[in-house]
Structure 1
Amino acid sequence: MTYAHDMPTPEKAVRTDAGLASELRLSVMRLRRRLAAERHPDNPLSMGQLALLGALYRNGDQSVGELAARERVQPPSMTRTINCLADGGYVERRSHPSDGRQVVVALTDEGRAVLLADRARRDEWLSRRLAGLSAEERDVLRRATPILQRLAEAD
């Protein structure tokens, strides 16, 4: 029989890579859910649709294939998402500047406005939470942010 006092504490668990992976996964997923909950109630877009708008905002016009690869989904799934966003006026399709056979997807003014309003609302919530941390804790997060980014982008 295992008793509660025999179970590793979170402090002990993160001493191993497996324990760190488990605690980090849980923390990141909880934070993601909390940030998702901070979306504006009038925003009709899913988190996946907002991620697509964010990719276009950061990287400019892209083909369906480029967007699918970046978001790690199959091209038919990306096409469905783009069709939905185009129907709502958030993106538009344009001719590729150097290859007339290709189409690129571009962010519209409406798409940019919805994305930036959503980001501002969630950034405001997170800024309020960060303000409650010590300077040392905020410094740890500043140093961890590029590492988390690398983990997110790793193949």
Structure 2
Amino acid sequence: MTIPQQSSLLRMSTFRLARRLRAQKSDDSVSDAQFAVLATLSIHGAHTLSALAERERVSAPSMNRTVNCLEEAGFLARTEDAVDRRKTNISLTASGIELVEATVSKRDAWLTERMRDLTADERDLLARAAELMGRLATQ
């Protein structure tokens, strides 16, 4: 198999697995893009709107719409910055934290069940592949 064929196979398999994982949600009313924002705040902490838009690689107006929706749902809150009162920080509420934890737990459980059907060698191979995929993603 050529490198372009391997690349195509990796891309298609990664997308299929990602789609199956994204389907494992604790709240179906939250879109994938909205959950990505919640997960980002969970991992990296509070952000300003512009910093969050930059991290997610979307426009500030688009991020503002997403944040407004999540705020209305009670998953995040805006607070005035203690140092610079012109800034507003966006952070998860208790409900937002619960949603992220429940969804991550559901996704991990789904994947764990699928991996139980693999041999130990296959699971080791996937662990090594995950390391390589992580490296590719940061290049």
Q: TM-score, normalised by structure 1?
A: 0.83
Q: State yes or no: 1:119 paired with 2:72.
A: no
> CA separation of 1:71/1:151 partners in 2, compared to 1, >3 Å: closer, same or farther?
farther
Q: Which consecutive unaligned segments of at least 5 residues does structure 1 have?
A: 1-11
> CA separation of 1:26/1:73 partners in 2, compared to 1, >3 Å: closer, same or farther?
same
Q: Where in structure 2 are the equivalents of 1:1-155 lying within 5 Å?
A: 12=1, 16-40=2-26, 42-154=27-139
Question: What per-residue deviation string (whole Å, max 9, x for no partner) do you get for residues 104-154 of structure 1?
Answer: 100000011111111111111100011111111111221222332233344
Q: CA deviation at 1:71?
A: 1.2
Question: What per-residue deviation string (whole Å, max 9, x for no partner) do you get for residues 9-45 of structure 1?
Answer: xxx2xxx2211210111001101111122224x4310
Q: Which has the larger radius of gyration?
A: 1
User: Which sits farther off after the overlay, 16-25 or 78-87?
Assistant: 16-25
Amino acid paired to 2:42? Y
CA distance in 1, matches of 2:134, 2:53: 19
Greater RCO, CA 8 A, separation 6+: 2
Corresponding residue number in structure 2 for 1:7: none
CA distance in 1, matches of 2:47, 2:40: 9
Q: CA deviation at 1:90?
A: 0.3
Q: TM-score, normalised by structure 2?
A: 0.91
> CA separation of 1:97/1:147 partners in 2, compared to 1, >3 Å: closer, same or farther?
farther
State the secondary structure of the residue aligned to 1:94: strand
CA distance in 2, matches of 1:23, 1:98: 49
Corresponding residue number in structure 2 for 1:9: none
Q: CA deviation at 1:77?
A: 0.7
C-alpha RMSD over aligned residues: 1.5
Q: CA deviation at 1:86?
A: 0.4
